[in-house]
């Protein structure tokens, strides 16, 4: 062992002990004939004092930043204590030392506020990982991993490893594939999730399964996606939705307690998907703050059980509202005094292509009870007051109104809500609000070109419909004849036994009760446009398994990277992955992917076919 | 929840309680107007009693084997207790039941002694996994996983995930590769181990790392190899070999205690590689029994510090021994009375191509003190006595002698030793003997065609030589001029700071102290025949990392599948993997690998090039 103690361990009570430390040189400060050296390791920083004799040696062979040093010395009380450091009451009077390894000058400083840019830090990730900020993230990640495992173990779950070299079943996302040399011309796929395996384990009777497991998706990487990512993957047999919600609500609370020291005592709020879309315009609402959507107008074919507030905007001759499918508003707390410049900027913000609105209507609800709007021509004070009332605005608030096609407008108002909350400081990093979103639609309309006019599974094809929606699924033809008004097709209203866990506006987990009957699973595959042959070829093993006594079951998977990021107060998962890839799927440090030898290609019996 | 209790939970103390169970029908036994049904789940079996009324229902709608059933009833004391079952004192008087799912007749019986053959069980693995024997294996696997994690956590190790999509660096074993769609013409590789990443983590200061992690090797699958396998992978910084041996010896003992209830109190025996080869003919000796090799003759260029016993066989005019490079023997306890048929059979055994000997010489050391051998023509009683004495044979033992080229003969005697021990019952499944084998050669001669005449790293290119062998490595030319007598090259005697942990004759773990200086690492790459360009292209990131303050470090990796198999008393790892592949690398259940769409190939910009 190169050391007797770590650099985070020594206290005033160790005074007088002779110790050996090993670590990295953080700083060297010379004061005349003596030097102070901060020595760093994983556990902390300890100050070394080089007296006259050793200091002379240092003058000849200077210790550079990041040199690896072993030093022996005596623990001594400091005269000038640094109470911000746990080791700050002592220093080590060095008796002897040796340089274990030298270091070139690092390309950026190993400090919380490094001078290194993103690309540089990724290329030298092994140096970036030395920074305290990154280390804290990986420590948090390990703590979450450990807490989740301990909780699940305590509940009788078993970690069972599922294979990585599986069969390609291109549904939804694209598979990474692996050419097989021993079976030339054939390919394995890397799993997008262990979904079918965990279901098979339920069929096999392992009624509580978990795994912290890598998954793979070959998708174009939008911001903050990784081609490989980690899931906390769980499945249970002989359960209903309520059992799963309770089990995993408790797990997250356990993690909060263990990792963050937070007692999340109250039950996790639950909301139907429909309510979430109606009140927040999104299926993963951030409920740290209110600012709910006021639905002033909606088309008839959606939210069948909801009423809009159209009376307050109709009959005013304002064509924008009259011709719009949907009119929605939010009341922004305390912003009635926004200047023209500020409202203009918000208008520009909603007109950006990513948001896609044609404009923005505002009503200022002044503190004196008066109203001022951008549509004064059409709405008198009384009508403005009625609209403001419908949005729940109070005196001093700013009402923002968007109008346009249902889906785009609802999405836009949700984005606007989040943007304003961000600007107003309502999205506090260290406040955590959990939410279950329930009763998702079972089917979604496929917008991708190659699937157009078809249903796709919103969650995945193994999700069970609500029991009382099974008939609607079986008795209606899945064919979409009117692709424009696809929302009026009966399938659009079939709800799934599915649930998402949302934390601060991020989906951190999602799951469902599964289909466990062969007939219903076959109906699902056919509703998704799969021929019988295709479904047998892709999922014959699962359909087969369902013939031999499959129990009712369901499960959930948590996005481990995202969960860690949010608990760590960040929205970037990359900061919580030891060796992440960039947005082109490249590992900048390894310089991977790379070319392979002709010999390897020949052995695999494939060749390049570059366009 | 579909149940109030599991099928393994109810005891006499529950008598009188109303309970609901759910599980699989194991058996149905009719006795006139009543029926007994064994209901099975992960936790056990509980007997259900169907009285007259329900029995009549059963007559109409029989419960088949493996049906999934939910049953409500009263816990009742049994009149006819089955004390072999934990639940055998009670039964459930059924009040109502429902069939949750039916089952077709399984293709084999779900019992310890199943009637299913290997292929059938692999195809229907989800049914095979229901068998108690397989379930016990997976439970043991989870227990080992959990114990290892708990031990390592307690020692301050951190689980840090390393990437799966990395760079192909074809050394030794063949990589599985993954074509990159976003970087057309380029490939990722799946890791053969996280070796370089864990070393980078040491450079980054995470001085105790572990991971239970999947690794991948695209090798022709000899018996009991899998293309994907799991390692318990560990690395430590600021340590010497002794620290690692102590740390992981304690880990294995902890696992023994936690998983098997075994107190492995004595220190793990240590043996140099040279002693292991000299005394056992193999680098992973099974030391549950003695039967050590007697070295009667050896060539001069190996085992430089060992003396053979040539005087006892020389000068007898026996050409087979005189002309042989190596003559080795074992004394087989209590087998002096083997018949001619038995010794003939052993002779045939060593002449099989896998062993490759030309014949076998025996000496029977009879209980009356007389000797009888197959070489009586050349060796008189006195000489036979001397040979027997050299092998340590006692009266009643059978001495078996092999002669031939050094490597083949040594390997053969090792195999013969194991075979006889197996036959004599010396290899007891429930006896566990650990062994550290130390001081391996750093280099090995490459026998594969494409590498011939070159050195390869015995462990891997990151293993450090023993400190006092560094000079021999640096000051000698690695070029092998005499490929026949390559063992006489100075590199053949360079020893590595490497260690294997052996359990019952199986290597369960191996590791080394690593090179941490750029210059030495470069020398190693060049000794392995890599050009500077090649080494930079493949391992530039590691060489780079070594420039920025790499600490001394080392580690070990345990073969998790194999460790579990041995602890479970089996030598087949397949029985300890939930979804294994067969010897052609196929998953029989999924029918993977399989063909992929033309569209997928086009997106990846590759095409098939079948021969």
On whether both A409 and A522 belong to a single domain, the answer is: no
Residues of chain A with C-beta less than 8 angstroms from the C-beta of B19: none
Q: Which residues of B touch A591 (CB under 8 A)?
A: 167, 540-541
Among the partner-chain residues A138, A158, A606, the one whose CB lies closest to the CB of B607 is A606
Q: Which of B180, B187, B205 is closest, CB to CB, to A24?
A: B205
What is the least distance, in Å, from the CA of A592 to any CA of chain B?
Answer: 5
A-chain residues near B192 (CB < 8 A): none
Which among A168, A606, A610 has CB closest to B608?
Answer: A606
Q: Which residues of A touch B181 (CB under 8 A)?
A: 174, 218
**ipTM > 0.90 for the complex:** yes
Residues A402 and A480 in one domain: no
Q: Which two tokens stand for residue A497?
A: 């036994």
Q: What is the pLDDT of residues A367-400, one digit of tens each?
A: 999 999 999 999 999 999 999 999 999 999 999 9
Calculate the CA dihedral of residues A35, A40, A44, A46 and round it to 10 degrees: -20
- Out of B161, B601, B607, closest to residue A230 by CB: B161
Note whether A534 and A577 are same-domain residues: no
- Residue A551, min C-alpha distance to chain B (Å): 6
B594–A552 C-beta distance less than 8 A: no
Q: What is the mean pLDDT of residues A349-364?
A: 96
B236 and B311 assigned to the same domain: no
pLDDT band for position A478 (cuts 50, 70, 90): confident
pLDDT at B452: 61
Confidence bin at A97 (pLDDT 50/70/90): very high
Number of independent structural domains in chain B: 4
Asked if B449 and B522 sit in the same domain, the reply is: yes
10 Å CB burial of residue A53 (0-12, 13-18, 19+) is exposed
pLDDT band at A451 (very low <50, low <70, confident <90, very high): low
Which CATH number do you get for residue B84?
2.40.50.140
Residue contact A609–B601, C-beta within 8 A: yes
Residues B341 and B385 in one domain: yes
N residues, chain A: 611
Q: Can you give the pLDDT at residue A448?
A: 67
Q: Residue B128 falls within a domain, yes or no?
A: no
Q: Is residue B452 part of a domain?
A: yes
Averaged pLDDT, A408-430: 96
pLDDT digits (tens, 9 = 90+) for A228-272: 999 999 999 999 999 999 999 999 999 999 999 999 999 999 999
Closest residue to A585, CB basis, from B180, B516, B602: B180
Cross-chain residue pair A179–B179, CB shorter than 8 Å = yes
| Chain B residues with CB-CB distance to A159 below 8 A | 142, 145-146
Q: Which residues of B fall within a CB distance of 8 Å from A173?
A: none
Average pLDDT in chain A: 94
Which of B197, B605, B449 is closest to A599 using CA atoms? B449
- Cβ neighbours for B174, distance < 8 A, ≥ 6 positions apart: A181, A600, A603, B217, B218, B219
Range of the domain at A183: 133-265+558-600
Which residue of chain B comes nearest to A159, CA vs CA?
Answer: B142
Q: Answer yes or no: is A108 within a domain.
A: no
Among candidate residues A337, A482, A327, the one with its CA nearest the CA of residue A408: A327
Regarding whether A562 and A546 lie in a shared domain, the answer is no
**Chain A residue closest in CA terms to B554:** A1
* Interchain contact, A204 vs B239, CB within 8 Å: no
- In chain A, whose CA is at the least distance from the CA of B2? A238
At B478 the pLDDT is 87
Question: Residue A415: which of A351, A342, A320, A335 has the closest Cα?
Answer: A351
Question: Quick one: which of A87, A68, A85, A64 has its CA closest to A76?
Answer: A87
B170, A597: Cβ pair inside 8 Å? yes
Specify the long-range contacts of residues A192-195, CB closer than 8 Å, at least 24 apart. A192/A216, A192/A217, A193/A231, A193/A233, A193/A557, A194/A162, A194/A233, A195/A460, A195/A462
Mutation target for B interface from A102, A198, A204: give the one with most B CBs within 10 A: A204
Identify whether the C-beta of residue B138 lies closer than 8 Å to the C-beta of residue B567: no
Indicate if A319 and A353 belong to the same structural domain. yes
CB pair distance less than 8 Å for B127 and A548: yes
| Consecutive H or E run containing A402 | strand A398-404
Instruction: Report whether A447 contacts A279 (CB < 8 A).
Output: no
pLDDT classification of A450: cutoffs 50, 70, 90: low
A541-578 confidence digits (pLDDT tens): 999 999 999 999 999 999 999 999 999 999 899 999 99
Closest residue, chain A, to B185 (C-alpha): A608
Q: Which residues pair with A443 in a beta bridge?
A: A457
Inspect the interface and report whether the beta carbons of A186 and B589 lie closer than 8 Å: no
Among A205, A221, A585, A607, most B C-beta atoms within 10 A, so best to mutate, is A205
Beta-carbon separation of A609 and B605 below 8 A: yes
CATH number of the domain bearing residue B261: 3.30.930.10
- In A, minimum Cα distance to B577 occurs at A161
Of A103, A593, A597, the CB nearest to B188: A593
Closest CB from A3, A153, A552 relative to B100: A552
Of A550, A593, A608, Cβ closest to residue B606: A608
Which residues from B are below 8 Å from A239, CB to CB? 1-2
Chain B: give the shortest CA distance to residue A447, in Å: 19
- The answer to whether residues B156 and B217 belong to one domain is yes
Q: Report the CATH number at residue B357.
A: 3.30.1360.30
Q: Which two tokens stand for residue A101?
A: 């390894």
Q: How many contacts does A have with B, using Cβ atoms within 8 A?
A: 352
Q: Is residue B70 part of a domain?
A: yes
Q: What angle do CA B321, B326, B327 make, to 5 degrees?
A: 55
Q: What average pLDDT does the segment A402-420 reach?
A: 97
Contacts of B221 in chain A (CB under 8 A): 182
Of B130, B552, B578, the CB nearest to A161: B578
Selection from A505, A503, A589 nearest residue A125 by Cα: A589
Nearest chain B Cα distance for residue A280, angstroms: 32
Q: Do A183 and B593 touch (CB under 8 A)?
A: yes
Would you say residue A479 lies in a domain?
A: yes
CA of B596, closest CA in chain A: separation in Å? 7
Q: Name the closest residue on chain A to residue B135, using Cα atoms.
A: A206
pTM of the predicted protein model: 0.96
pLDDT of residue A452: 61
Interface touch A605/B610, C-beta < 8 Å: yes
- How far apart (Å, rounded) are the C-alpha atoms in residues A362 and A400? 5
Identify whether A305 is part of a domain. Answer: yes
Is residue A357 domain-resident?
Answer: yes
Q: What DSSP string describes A263-276?
A: ---SPPEEEEHHHH
The radius of gyration computed from the CA coordinates of chain B, to the nearest angstrom, equals 30
Give pLDDT tens digits for A162-177: 999 999 876 668 999 9
A23 contact residues in B (CB cutoff 8 A): 205
To the nearest whole angstrom, how far is the Cα of B609 from the nearest Cα of chain A? 5
Residue B485 within a domain: yes
**d(CA A148, nearest CA chain B) in Å:** 13
For residues B310 and B413, membership in a common domain is answered with yes
Alpha helices in A211-315 (DSSP H): 241-255, 273-280
Picking from B150, B188, B587 by the largest number of A CB atoms within 10 A of its own CB, the best residue to mutate is B188
What pLDDT is recorded for position B454?
A: 83
B541 contacts A591? CB cut-off 8 A: yes
Residue B17 Cα distances to A127, A320, B77, angstroms: 63, 68, 11
Of B359, B401, B366, whose CA–CA distance to B381 is shortest?
B366
Measured CA to CA in angstroms, residue A290 lies from A36, A280, A286, A401 at distances of 53, 9, 9, 16
Which of A1, A139, A176 is closest, CB to CB, to B243? A1
Yes or no, beta carbons of B166 and A218 under 8 Å apart = no
A578 to chain B nearest CA, in Å?
Answer: 7
- Same domain, residue pair B389 and B419: yes
Please, what are the averages of pLDDT over each run of 10 residues along chain B (611 residues)?
97 98 96 94 97 89 94 96 95 96 95 89 96 96 98 98 91 89 96 97 98 95 88 98 98 98 97 97 97 96 91 93 96 96 97 96 96 95 95 96 96 98 95 97 78 81 95 89 80 94 97 96 93 93 97 98 96 94 94 93 95 87
Percent of chain A with pLDDT over 90: 87
Same domain, A534 and A567: no
């Amino acid at each position: 062992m190169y050391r007797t103690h770590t650099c985070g361990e020594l206290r005033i009570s160790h005074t007088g002990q002779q110790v050996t430390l090993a670590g990295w040189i953080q700083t060297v400060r010379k004061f005349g004939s003596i030097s102070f050296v901060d020595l760093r390791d994983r556990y902390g920083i300890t100050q070394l004092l080089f007296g006259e004799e050793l200091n002379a040696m240092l003058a000849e062979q200077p210790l550079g930043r990041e040199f690896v040093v072993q030093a022996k010395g005596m623990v001594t009380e400091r005269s000038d204590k640094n109470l911000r450091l746990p080791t700050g009451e002592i220093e080590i009077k060095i008796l002897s030392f040796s340089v274990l390894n030298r270091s070139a000058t690092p390309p950026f400083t190993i400090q919380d506020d490094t001078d290194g840019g993103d690309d540089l830090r990724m290329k030298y990730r092994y140096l970036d990982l030395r920074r305290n900020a990154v280390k804290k993230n990986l420590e948090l990640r390990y703590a979450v991993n450990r807490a989740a495992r301990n909780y699940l173990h305590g509940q009788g779950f078993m970690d069972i490893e599922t294979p990585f070299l599986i069969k390609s079943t291109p549904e939804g996302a694209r598979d990474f594939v692996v050419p097989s040399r021993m079976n030339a011309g054939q390919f394995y796929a890397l799993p997008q999730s262990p979904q079918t395996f965990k279901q098979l384990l339920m069929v096999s009777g392992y009624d509580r399964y978990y795994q912290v497991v890598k998954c793979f998706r070959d998708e174009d990487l939008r911001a903050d996606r990784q081609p490989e990512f980690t899931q906390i993957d769980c499945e249970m047999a002989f359960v209903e939705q309520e059992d799963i919600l309770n089990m995993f609500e408790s797990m997250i609370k356990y993690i909060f307690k263990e990792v963050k020291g937070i007692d999340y005592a109250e039950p996790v709020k639950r909301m139907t998907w429909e309510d979430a879309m109606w009140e927040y315009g999104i299926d993963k609402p951030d409920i740290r703050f209110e600012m709910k959507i006021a639905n002033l107008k909606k088309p008839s074919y959606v939210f069948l059980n909801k009423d809009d507030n159209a009376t307050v905007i109709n009959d005013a001759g304002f064509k924008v509202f009259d011709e719009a499918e949907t009119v929605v508003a939010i009341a922004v707390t305390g912003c009635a005094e926004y200047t023209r410049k500020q409202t203009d900027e918000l208008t520009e913000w909603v007109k950006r292509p990513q948001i896609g609105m044609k404009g923005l209507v505002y009503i200022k609800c002044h503190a004196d009870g008066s109203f001022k709007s951008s549509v004064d021509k059409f709405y008198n004070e009384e009508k403005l007051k009625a609209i403001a009332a419908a949005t729940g605005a109070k005196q001093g608030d700013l009402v923002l109104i968007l109008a346009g096609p249902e889906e785009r407008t609802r999405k836009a108002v949700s984005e606007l809500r989040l943007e304003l909350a961000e600007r107003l400081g309502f999205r506090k990093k260290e406040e955590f609000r959990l939410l279950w979103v329930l009763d998702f639609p079972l089917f979604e309309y496929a917008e991708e070109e190659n699937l157009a006019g078809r249903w796709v599974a919103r969650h995945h094809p193994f999700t069970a419909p609500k029991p009382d929606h099974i008939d609607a699924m079986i008795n209606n033809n899945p064919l979409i004849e009117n692709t424009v008004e696809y929302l009026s097709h009966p399938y659009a209203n079939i709800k799934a036994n599915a649930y998402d866990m949302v934390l601060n506006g991020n989906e951190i987990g999602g799951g469902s009760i599964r289909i466990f009957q062969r007939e219903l699973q076959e109906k699902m595959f056919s509703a998704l446009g799969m021929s019988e042959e295709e479904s047998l070829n892709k999922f014959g093993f699962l359909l087969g398994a369902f013939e031999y006594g499959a129990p009712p079951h369901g499960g959930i998977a948590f996005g481990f990277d995202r969960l860690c990021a949010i608990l760590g107060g960040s929205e970037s998962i990359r900061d919580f992955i030891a060796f992440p890839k960039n947005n082109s799927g490249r590992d900048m440090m390894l310089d991977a992917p790379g070319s392979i030898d002709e010999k390897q290609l020949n052995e695999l019996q494939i060749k390049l076919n570059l366009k």
